[in-house]
Structure 1
Amino acid sequence: MKVLYYIHDPMCSWCYAFAPAWQALCESLPPAIEIRRLLGGLAADDDLPMDAALRQHLMDTWRRIEARVPGTRFNFDFWRNNTPRRSTWIACRAVIAARRQDVQHDLTMTAAIAHAYYREARNPSDEQTLIDLASEIGIDNVRFTVDLRSAGTQAALASEMGRAKSMGAHGFPSLILDLDGTRWPVAVDYRDPRTMLETIDTLVAG
């Protein structure tokens, strides 16, 4: 069995920047390689406002990403219009809650969260933002809200986070290629999917 694991967080700025290269890689992979997505859980639930030092660090990270990854743009109004919190697990649970209605909503909710956060300056750490996004992508937001708040959804997230950690994924995004039980890290390239494809082809060829 050949599986490529993509470990991510919907509020990870580097994952947002990686999205175009990741999509191109997915479109180029051999059909024999299955893609599985895992939520890594970047930051635990926290209701406290982000301190000034962390705010500045993240703004600097956004600027560094814009300089490094062509075409990536962030809306810095986020920092003026919101009360940021270092809390991404709720957004991860939103992906799981959406996925429970249709597996394809894993992708659509992840993309909706990233767009709302990075382009529209909305705060996905706020539950209401996520409920609004559920409506916007066309899923049942009453069921979504129940699932978002459920202990089962948190347990599912904890399971995915544990699995990602057991694979050695400690940063996001991470790519892990599993070839019949043997796992290989694949270096992420934000600019050129061909380098990742070449690595995967070499590993598969053995």
Structure 2
Amino acid sequence: MTLISTSDDRPKKATLYYAVDPMCSWCWGFKPTWQVVYNAYASQTTLAVRYVMGGLAPDSDQPMPAEMQQHLQHIWRQIQRTIPGTEFNFDFWSNNIPRRSTYPACRAVLAARSQSVQLEQAMLLAIQEAYYLQAKNPSDYSTLTELAKQIGCDTDQFTQELTSRTIDQQLKSEIHFARELGAMGFPSLILETATGSRHPMNVAYGNPQHILEQIELLNVG
């Protein structure tokens, strides 16, 4: 199983950490920008790119209060105004019983990661598209299992790991590590240089070039 790097087990090369929650709406708005940044370094050996699951909301089987639902719909509209071109399917709010619970989606990304880093990224995107475009509920394990099958995971392994103690402990470790990195909100980007110094990045929505310039400026030598 692939584990995140910690301060006691630092990579020898620089690492860009992306602290994210699959059900974070601002992370969805950041997706096009992040994809450009990721693609710029995906095939390079000078910089490693690592996802860190942030865990916005713990497990819950309680329906989301109406006020919270209205608040999140307001945020979706705010994102559409702030980041033109960002799509949301508001049918989600009438087609589902929303719950404030993002840990299952985070565990799904970790379970996919245990099979390959390619499936890790595919699962993150699949959850985002299911939630924001297809009005499906990633708080439901049935949705996550369906997505695992769609992206080509070994579904038996995925189903076992999704609710395993190992993945649950890994999520707790990643949430702690995100805080250790200084990720106070999501999305967050933190560059750790080869010498171990950490630098929070300015998350520039819609401006990947600005992020790439920050990386090049900090990742000297």
TM-score scaled by length of structure 1: 0.96
What SS does structure 1 have at the residue aligned with 2:50? strand
Indicate the residue corresponding to 2:219 in structure 1. 204
Paired amino acid for 2:165? A
Residues 155-170 of structure 1 aligned to structure 2 (within 5 Å)? 155-170=169-184
User: What 5-or-longer segments of structure 1 have no aligned partner?
Assistant: none
CA distance in 2, matches of 1:135, 1:114: 16
What SS does structure 2 have at the residue aligned with 1:177? strand
1:166 to 1:31, Cα distance in 2 relative to 1, 3 A:
same
Indicate the residue corresponding to 2:28 in structure 1. 16
Shift of 1:31: 4.4
CA distance in 2, matches of 1:123, 1:28: 32
Indicate the residue corresponding to 2:15 in structure 1. 3
- 2:220 aligned with 1:183, yes or no? no
Residues 115-194 of structure 1 aligned to structure 2 (within 5 Å)? 115-179=129-193, 180-194=195-209
CA distance in 2, matches of 1:133, 1:158: 23
How many residue pairs get aligned? The number is: 206
CA distance in 2, matches of 1:52, 1:81: 15
Residues 8-35 of structure 1, C-alpha deviation per residue, up to 9 Å, x if partnerless? 0111111111111011112334641211
Q: Pick from 73, 81, 90: which aligns with 1:59?
A: 73
Paired amino acid for 1:136? Q
TM-score scaled by length of structure 2: 0.90
Shift of 1:205: 3.5
Shift of 1:137: 1.1
Q: What percent identity do the matched residue pairs reach?
A: 50
User: What 5-or-longer segments of structure 2 have no aligned partner?
Assistant: 1-12
CA distance in 2, matches of 1:36, 1:138: 21
Residues 140-167 of structure 1, C-alpha deviation per residue, up to 9 Å, x if partnerless? 2222111101011100111111111111
CA distance in 2, matches of 1:26, 1:144: 25
CA distance in 2, matches of 1:11, 1:190: 17
Paired amino acid for 1:10? P
Q: Pick from 66, 90, 94: which aligns with 2:104?
A: 90
Paired amino acid for 2:26? W
CA distance in 1, matches of 2:49, 2:151: 23
